[in-house]
Amino acid sequence: MLNCRQAAELMSQRQDRRLTRWERFGLRLHLWVCHGCRQFEQQLAFLRAACGAWMRHKE
């Protein structure tokens, strides 16, 4: 099973590339049991949305 550092790395990489089936499975399993990483995933989603809104507003 992934540790939190590996899960965070995969969540970051997921922004730039499609994860393999095993990476997705391992990440899903880790997120199922780790509250802290689920919160980190929500924070990444918030930052992605905020940056997207800022870029649209900037244009």
- DSSP line for 1-56: ---HHHHHHHHHHTTTSPPPHHHHHHHHHHHHH-HHHHHHHHHHHHHHHHHHHHHH
Q: What is the pLDDT of residue 52?
A: 87
Q: How many domains does the chain have?
A: 1
Domain residue limits at 50: 4-58
Give the global pTM: 0.82
4-59 pLDDT per residue, tens: 999 999 999 998 999 999 999 999 999 999 999 999 999 999 999 998 888 888 77
